[in-house]
Chains A and B, each alone.
Chain A
Amino acid sequence: MLQLAGVEIRQGDFLLAADWRIARGVRLALIGPSGAGKSTLLASIAGFLEPDAGRILIDGHDMRGTPPGKRPVSLLFQEHNLFPYLTVWQNVALGLRPDLKLSADERRLVARSLDEVGLAGMDGRLPAALSGGQRQRVALARALLRDRPLLLLDEPFAALGPALRGEMLDLVRRITDKSGATLLMVTHDPRDAARIADLTSLVSAGQAHAPVPTGELLRNPPAALRDYLG
């Protein structure tokens, strides 16, 4: 479903290489130290920066030259996923039509996705009036509505407490189960990976390593992961 074919991304001295593929519907965690390039990898899959070498293929299509808006991808950032001057409803509805001119059917879809993430009745609120967890739920509702085959999470729950984070991960699991979307998620915490991800890729020393089953990796961590986990 997603194939990274000899991908190399350079930024000054920084280099990240990846060469692997994953199947449709997989949930993959990217784990590793800060600055290793986890977010950079997601940004280049989303189309915000082009790799310096290699190709990114989604469902067999080479993504080179495809602008971010045309890629079959939704990316959630760690923060600032919502426009502060738009209401919850507007922020979600943007996922269907950026000009917010929605048909009655589309309006029903917005309402359903808000319901799905547990925010029914919050339509008119502004992001500033929401908690951190609620804000990320709004962003999830939008991703749900966009229904892109590839969902990328760049630690959107990192600032939440452990209980809330677990709850959000369970919500993500439900959403991806239902839609069949493939998930790539960046995390610092092996427990997050264990909770939701089938596969995990260790990102360190300039390399996003080929994914291996999460349980196996955590039971028998390679040296680089042991160093990171301490």
Chain B
Amino acid sequence: MAERAEPVITPALVAGLGVAGFLAALSLGTVAVVAAAADTPGHLGAGDWAALKFTLSQALVSAALSTILAIPVARALARRRFFGRDLLITLLGAPFILPVIVAVLGLLAVYGRGGLISELLVALGYAPLSIYGFRGVVLAHVFFNLPLATRLLLQGWQRVPGEHFLLAAQLGMSTRDINRVIERPILRSVLPGAFATIFLLCVTSFAVALTLGGGPRATTIELAIYQAFRFDFDMGRAALLALMQFAIGAGAAVFAWRLARDGAPGAGLGRVARRWDCAGFAARIIDGAVLAAVSLFLLAPLAMVLLRGVFGLGLLDAGAVTALVRSVIVALMSTALTLGMALVLGTAVARHGAGHMAGWIESAGHLSLAASPMVIGTGLFILLYPLVDPASVALAVTALVNAVMSLPFALRALVPVMRHVQSVEGMLADSLDMGGWARFRLVTWPAIRPAAGFAAGLAAALSMGDLGVVALFADPDAATLPLYLYRLMGSYRMEAAQGAALLLVAVSIMLFRLFDWLGKGA
């Protein structure tokens, strides 16, 4: 009687394929549009090849520094229990939702020409620092990615069964033995994926290069696309650069994907394995110094934004408020789009986890990691240019691009939970013949609600802080708050910019907390 299981076409699968197709069109289709608009090859100038070289070299150095520096930090966090440890781990998550431009302002306030350290140097009779160019771009990237690398490594430590550390203690292993037997295998399994992930994030970075780079020697491809468009209006060159960007992004994404697949996200970071080998004075001093240094590195720029921002708030005019309202509207639209797409893709992937289709659908959700927002923006610009005034749809396009850019992170938060629900309660739901909306509402949603809230919070904060495609589209009178802030910096109104930065970061965090709280609510 038993029939062989045939691949079933469910509404969930159809919807998933629909969204996946849309994403493919947006990510790859825009590349095709861009390619069609491109001149014949060979129009890339020396400056463009310099941009390629700069993009790769800064990403390599940033990724290497972030991962190497993260090793002692993660090790200290994994083996020390201390007051404020949870707070520090929360702080390590903060840069992810921190608007890039705010971090840049904070870094300038500490390391810049007029920053704290320069003031001290000048008072002592030395020349002030300058962080524009390669050094500044790498500094900002390490600021963002050292915490990420630390968290990824710490997750590696958390995956080691507690018994192994007890066993090490029982066998009387020294710190060196534990390093060889337990910790080096962790690093071998986590470091390549962390490196590739950070390399990918740095390759596609735009706002950092826009604010701290620039000039012939410190321009990323992403920035070069923007400039080709905005200043030279050279579509062909922009298209070629977009293709180059996509090739590098896709290559790095595939690498990161392969190397980082084992990482089970959502693993708690709270456990501290009790250790008997590193109770000595020297080891404790070293760990303490490492943790103090990383805390200072992360907190000093944030503290400067807070301190100077308070004074700058009074200098903001009505334009800032309008820009804030625009940003919030864009963020809310973008959040709704991200969450909607993530739920559709996640449902399809969870229900059809074993099939090829699910793999394609999940990959489509991550396409934007390879396709940079500038590539998508360029494509959309070319498409829309003959039809409407691009400035008039700038905000809607920004919301859409932001939503697509946040999608990989939303999927990372949601898909494992949705898979888990499917594996635990899926069979029961099947046996009760629960399907469609009832199944989602009664079985899936209650279980994934916290993850969905977190994903929505991420999407909202990322969109709030985005300074990317909006710079390409929006005219000066339709700026979002990050763009408004960038223009304040450009006209050297630094105090007002600090005020806008404080406003931006406060609202970003509030939106993140709001959605996270809604997810966790009763």
Contact = CB atoms under 8 A, between A and B. Distances in A.
Interface of A: 43, 46-48, 67-71, 73-75, 77, 79-81, 83-86, 94-95, 98-99
Q: Taking chain A's interface residues, is the majority helix, strand, or loop, or is none over half, making it mixed?
A: loop
Q: Considering the complex of A and B, which 8 residue pairs feature the smallest CB-CB distances, nearest first?
A: A69-B172, A80-B163, A80-B161, A98-B177, A68-B169, A98-B173, A85-B185, A77-B163
A99 B166 CA distance: 17
28 contacts: A46-B166, A47-B170, A48-B169, A67-B276, A68-B166, A68-B169, A68-B170, A69-B169, A69-B172, A70-B172, A74-B170, A77-B166, A77-B167, A80-B167, A81-B167, A83-B164, A83-B181, A83-B182, A94-B173, A95-B171, A98-B168, A98-B172, A98-B173, A98-B174, A98-B177, A98-B181, A99-B174, A99-B176
A48 B168 CA distance: 11
Contacts of A74: 170
B274 interface: yes
Contacts of B170: 46-47, 68-69, 71, 73-75
B173 A81 contact: no
A79 B162 CA distance: 10
A12 to B, nearest CB: 16
Interface in B244-300: 274, 276
Nearest to A69: B172
B182 A67 contact: no
Nearest to A146: B171
Given A74-B170, A85-B185, A98-B173, A69 B276 contact: yes
A94 B174 CA distance: 12
Nearest to A73: B170
Contact of B169 (A67, A79, A80): A67
A94 B163 contact: no
Nearest to B279: A67
Interface string B319-353: 00000000000000000000000000000000000
Contacts of B173: 69, 94, 98
A68 B181 contact: no
A86 B163 CA distance: 15
A17 B171 CA distance: 28
A86 B177 CA distance: 12
A86 B166 contact: no
A52 to B, nearest CB: 16
Given A48-B274, A83-B182, A98 B163 contact: no
A69 B164 contact: no
B198 to A, nearest CB: 25
Size range of the chain B interface in the assembly? 20 to 34
Contacts of A70: 172
Interface in B155-197: 161-164, 166-174, 176-177, 181-182, 185
B181 to A, nearest CB: 5
Contacts of B164: 80, 83
A69 B173 CA distance: 8
A48 to B, nearest CB: 6
A81 B168 CA distance: 10
A95 B181 CA distance: 13
Contacts of B171: 69, 94-95, 98
Contact of A99 (B177, B185, B276): B177
A86 B185 CA distance: 10
Contacts of B161: 79-80
Interface string B365-397: 000000000000000000000000000000000
Contacts of B162: 80
A68 B276 contact: yes
Nearest to B274: A48
A84 B185 CA distance: 9
Contacts of B181: 83, 85-86, 94, 98
Contacts of A85: 181, 185
Contacts of B182: 83
Contacts of A83: 164, 167, 181-182
Interface in B140-163: 161-163
Contacts of A71: 170
Contacts of B176: 99
Given A46-B170, A69-B276, A75-B166, 8 more contacts: A43-B166, A69-B169, A69-B172, A69-B173, A77-B167, A81-B167, A83-B164, A85-B181
Contacts of A99: 174, 176-177
Residue picked from B167, B174, B181, most chain A C-beta under 10 Å: B167
A32 to B, nearest CB: 22
A79 to B, nearest CB: 7
Contact of A81 (B163, B169, B276): B163
Nearest to A77: B163
Contacts of A43: 166
A68 B181 CA distance: 18
A209 B459 CA distance: 57
A91 B185 CA distance: 15
Nearest to A43: B166
Contacts of B185: 84-85
Contacts of B167: 77, 80-81, 83
Contacts of A94: 171, 173, 181
Residue picked from B169, B174, B177, most chain A C-beta under 10 Å: B169
B179 to A, nearest CB: 11
B340 to A, nearest CB: 41
Nearest to B167: A81
A81 B161 CA distance: 10
Residue picked from A80, A85, A98, most chain B C-beta under 10 Å: A98
A81 B167 CA distance: 7
Contact of A48 (B166, B172, B174, B177): B166
Nearest to B170: A68
A26 B182 CA distance: 35
B274 to A, nearest CB: 7
Residue picked from B166, B170, B171, most chain A C-beta under 10 Å: B170
Nearest to B184: A85
Nearest to A78: B163
A71 B276 CA distance: 13
A81 B170 CA distance: 11
A71 B166 CA distance: 13
Nearest to B188: A85
A51 to B, nearest CB: 16
B191 to A, nearest CB: 15
Contacts of A68: 166, 169-170, 172, 276
Nearest to B185: A85
A40 B170 CA distance: 16
A85 B181 CA distance: 8
